[in-house]
Structure 1
Amino acid sequence: MNAKLNNTISSILKLKINQGRKSVLQPLIDYIQNKVSSGSDININFICTHNSRRSHLSQVWAQIAATYYEIAKVNCYSGGTEATAMFSKIAETFEHAGLDVNIISNTSNPIYALKYDKNALPIIGFSKKYDTPFNPQSMFVAIMTCSQADAGCPFIAGAEKRIPITYEDPKISDNTEQQDQVYKNRSLEIASEMFYIFSNIN
């Protein structure tokens, strides 16, 4: 990982997780630990309504955290209850954090290649439904990152487990002077929790 991303990770690791959130995160820690102990693949699908903001932040930071803590066989995905577009500010937020961001296809639903290490496979970021063939069809855990998707999707076909880990939508800051800071803060909040999860895996 490059120096800028390492600096961001250093900041992430200093953030504190309160006890209430630790309880919310524990079911995913348990799921991952069970998979590691059995030597199984760990497929995590982060789901939000539009697959435009929170689910991408969760997917990418979880994949980086797994790499940072050297947890093998982790594959992170994201999806929505409908497809829209990965919001451009999310790509900017990743770039400011130190990821290498490249646009593969600049359409109404852009496709991004997000690299966190020069020798790592890029994470492909674009908006899609959670059950698209691009995502796992079985043997995965579904993480509901927004309350709307959590309420609207009580059953996720193919999921071994469904866990709500919800976040406030940074969209509330769009077209305001606070937008950059709100997106940065939400990114760091999600990152700190993903790093906490994988730091607890043995």
Structure 2
Amino acid sequence: MYRFLVLFASLVLVITTASNDKIDASPVLKIGSEGQAITELQFRLHTVGYYNLPIDKNFGKATYNAVQRFQKYNGLHSDGIVGPRTWAKLKKLSVNKKELSMLARVIYAEARGEDYKGQVAVGAVVMNRLQSPKFPNTLKGVIMEPNAFSAVKDGQYWLIPNQTAFKAAKAAVKGVDPTGNAFFYFNPDVSKSVWFKTRTATKKIGNHLFTK
């Protein structure tokens, strides 16, 4: 029994360590840092409106100032150094290039028949889930969560999004949210789900009713 407990504890330690390594995989960045991680950092800062210069691989003064502004606005120590806490907050509020494409895909698949506001609203729901502890903590996890989006389940997610979907995705990432902080939406003329009727409605936008 003792050996079993020791082996079990060791296994838990290995799993925990591996998980922590995965969480802390993003490098600490500061002025003078170079490399591909700077490109992701600048892209993420750009998607939330803090960095508007060309994307490169150099952490210079402009990137430092953008990081400081992001940190200050989001209640972090504004030292201009991108450590684990800044990365964690940035990954909750922004997207990288691949994630922006994923967001545009789900918007196009779920709401291409809606007007622009309706498309932004669907993107806002995805971002609201990303920022909530009740849902997966990555954008991919939110989108690919089983039964979360019908377009993923039926394959429409893999359609190529148009420029309007990308524009809506960028607006949603920047914080445009016409839904009233909704986590769900459905078409009341089509859906027969009783579950949706138990939710608190926030807004009706186009064909979709948005709920908490």
Do the two structures share a fold, i.e. TM-score over 0.5? no
- Which structure's residues are more often helix, by fraction? 2
Higher RCO (CA 8 Å, separation ≥ 6 residues): 1
Q: Normalised by the size of structure 1, how large is the TM-score?
A: 0.23
- Which structure's residues are more often strand, by fraction? 1
Q: Normalised by the size of structure 2, how large is the TM-score?
A: 0.22
